[in-house]
Amino acid sequence: MGMSYQALYRVWRPTCLSDVVGQEHITKTLKNALLQEKLSHAYLFTGPRGTGKTSAAKIIAKAINCQKAPVDEPCNECEACRGIQDGTIVDVIEIDAASNNGVDEIRDIRDKVKFAPSAVSYKVYIIDEVHMLSTGAFNALLKTLEEPPRHVIFILATTEPHKIPLTIISRCQRFDFKRISTQAIINRMKEIVQATNLVIEDDALAMIARASEGGMRDALSLLDQAISYADNTVTLNDVLSITGAVSKGLLYDLANTLKDGDVAQGLSIVDTIIQEGKDPNRFIEDLTFFYRDILMIKAAPQLEESKDLLLSDDRFQNIVDKLDQPWIYSIMEQLNHFQQEMKWSNHPKVFLEMFIVQACHSLNNNPKLVNQTTEGESETIQTLLKRVNELESTIRKISSVQGAERDSTQQASETKRTRPKPIQPSGKSRAQISKVKGMLQRASKQQLQSLHSQWGQVMELVKQKSVPASAWLNDCKPVASSDQEFVLAFKNEMHRDMIDDKFREVVEETVSNVMHRSMILMALLETHWDETKESFLNDQKLASSDGDEKGKSEVDDNPLVQEAVKLVGRDLVDLKD
């Protein structure tokens, strides 16, 4: 494979508008505008990741500069098209706002905008993740958008349009890219599979499409992983093991168990799931989708999607016949409730178990069960519920008393900082801290997000290589990442030392494989990470306030921060990014 291997999503990146899958409502409009030469001078493309925003932007840049223009699609053969495609034509400028979010970059555009393009007829500025621009940069951009020269087109792309000032939005033509339908993703993957002579089972493709949640790029990344993971045919099980989704069988077992109200059986299925290394949060999501599918089939059996779902197997059909809509609604409400609770918990498994107990006891939705339970049994349940309520209110009282105590101590020591003095880091920790601080200069939020999204898979693969390594890795989380390094923060010193000294190689190798580039591990204690991050941010702030004429950082100007400072004094205000 070597380094020359190119990820599928890059090889198969759309080169003309017709290839942009699932966004026909947009591509049709754009094609007409290109043909009739009625382009706006500024576009805003919004929508979830991997739906084709930057691809479409690049295609427009080619089409308006194509030597055959006006055309509705770039020819992809003339010098202009080829030069824009491979990035050698300087008049088409792609800027990633996540890493260049400052006023200077945008001012630079503003100064150069008036010069005519050198190689082609239009200058095109593509600004990706534009919501990351600072307030100053937005203002500079606004000036440029107000009176742009004829030969310039701006295309702004973002996953978070609500963070963009209305003054900017009102000067752009806005297109909202949608999540791509599962069927459209499957069809596109089929094209690719045929063109590359791969063998992939249909249900494996369907699973990839569902796991990618409407993003083509995610789907192709998963497809890539599945291909390198599988032997020659990619099966559903290959896909399940890389997405960490739970095998269908267990979902069916659990659905039947919940319907029968068998708590013990339900809890033992949960144990199996956790032992297989599945993530409880992910499992609750799978369950939600599972019941959603059943609802779809019951509510709209004539839909294509419903028919597709029923093809999967007979067991599914049996479950569909067995459940009624009101019961499914109540289960989904409970799922939703527990999913919210789990997000913030250190012990998500407990909530999964609580869900099982509660779902099995949804007696009121399950008349058959009510008749089976004898008077004595339902009395027991009533007593238990009463006990639970009493316990809950006790806990609430205790925590509110503790809260009040905490508040009073906090007020009493307003003058002193209430944080306990950190344990002085050992020589080893100090060395790590300074290494990490240097690395933060190169780190970016994007890199961390992409490592986060793959972390489940990293854990899975580490476990396949070494069970002890995965056990030591259990209490840490990735907190920063650059192009070639990543930082893991550990709650526990022993865990950190084991990973740092004994299992470093396994972890580095796994992360490098998953991220398709070589990555170096830095291990740190969580307490030290918090300090390091804080001192790094403070240094940044100092540096920016030196360079800023007002000598005041943007953070201080934030009314929320001012309010907080008034309330508790500067000492206690902890600015988190």
What does DSSP assign to residue 274? H
User: Given this model, what pLDDT does residue 187 score?
Assistant: 92
Q: What is the residue-wise DSSP string for 133-186?
A: S-HHHHHHHHHHHHS--TTEEEEEEES-GGGS-HHHHTTSEEEEPPPPPHHHHH
CB 483 within 8 A of CB 520: no
Of 181, 226, 179, nearest to 205 by C-alpha is 226
User: Given this model, what pLDDT does residue 367 score?
Assistant: 47
User: Given this model, what pLDDT does residue 424 score?
Assistant: 63
Alpha carbon distance 221, 225 (integer Å):
6
User: Given this model, what pLDDT does residue 70 score?
Assistant: 87
Alpha carbon distance 539, 545 (integer Å):
10
**Domain boundaries along the sequence of the chain:** 8-176, 182-243, 248-366, 427-570
C-alpha angle 509-515-517 in degrees, rounded to nearest 5: 70
Name the CATH code of domain 182-243 (choices 1.20.1530.20, 2.60.40.10, 2.60.120.1360, 1.10.8.60).
1.10.8.60
Of 240, 191, 181, nearest to 215 by C-alpha is 181
Alpha carbon distance 265, 283 (integer Å):
17
C-alpha dihedral (562, 563, 566, 569), degrees to nearest 10: -70
CB 193 within 8 A of CB 8: no
User: Given this model, what pLDDT does residue 542 score?
Assistant: 85
What pTM value is reported for the model? 0.51
Rg from Cα positions in the chain:
28
pLDDT in tens, the chain (577 residues): 445 678 888 889 999 999 998 899 999 999 999 999 888 999 999 999 899 999 999 999 999 999 988 899 999 999 999 999 988 998 998 988 877 777 888 888 888 888 888 889 999 999 999 999 988 889 889 988 988 888 999 999 999 899 899 999 999 999 999 989 888 999 999 999 988 888 899 888 988 888 887 889 989 998 988 888 877 788 888 887 777 655 667 888 888 888 888 889 999 988 888 887 777 887 888 888 889 888 888 888 887 777 766 665 667 788 888 888 888 888 888 888 888 888 777 788 888 888 888 888 864 444 444 444 455 556 667 777 777 777 777 777 777 767 666 665 555 554 444 444 555 677 777 888 888 988 888 888 888 988 988 898 899 899 888 888 888 888 888 999 998 999 999 988 888 888 988 889 999 999 999 998 889 999 989 888 988 888 888 888 888 776 554 445 555 666 666 666 666 555 555 666 5
Alpha carbon distance 23, 180 (integer Å):
8
Alpha carbon distance 12, 220 (integer Å):
9
User: Given this model, what pLDDT does residue 559 score?
Assistant: 65
Q: How many CB atoms lie within 10 A of CB 574?
A: 10
Residue tagged 């495609």 (tokens): 85
User: What angle do the packed helices 280-299 and 348-360 form, to 10 degrees?
Assistant: 40
Residue tagged 């409407």 (tokens): 214
CB 183 within 8 A of CB 306: no
User: Given this model, what pLDDT does residue 126 score?
Assistant: 94
CATH class of 427-570: alpha beta
**Residue 294, token pair as written in the block:** 């059943």
Of 373, 368, 398, 372, nearest to 384 by C-alpha is 373
CB 128 within 8 A of CB 161: no
| H helix intervals, 504-558 | 504-515, 526-547, 554-557
User: Given this model, what pLDDT does residue 369 score?
Assistant: 44
Give, for 46, the enclosing helix (H) or strand (E). strand 42-46
Strand order in the sheet with 42-46: 92-96, 123-128, 152-158, 42-46, 173-176
**Residue 168, token pair as written in the block:** 């900017």
- State the CATH architecture for 248-366: Up-down Bundle (1.20)
Of 568, 539, 573, nearest to 556 by C-alpha is 573
User: Given this model, what pLDDT does residue 372 score?
Assistant: 46
Asked if the domains 182-243 and 427-570 are classified in one and the same CATH topology, the answer is no
Alpha carbon distance 435, 103 (integer Å):
30
C-alpha dihedral (388, 392, 393, 396), degrees to nearest 10: 170
CB 181 within 8 A of CB 148: no
CB 38 within 8 A of CB 31: no
Q: Which fold has domain 8-176?
A: Rossmann fold (3.40.50)
**Residue 517, token pair as written in the block:** 């580039």
Alpha carbon distance 155, 54 (integer Å):
9
Positions of E strands within 358-455? none
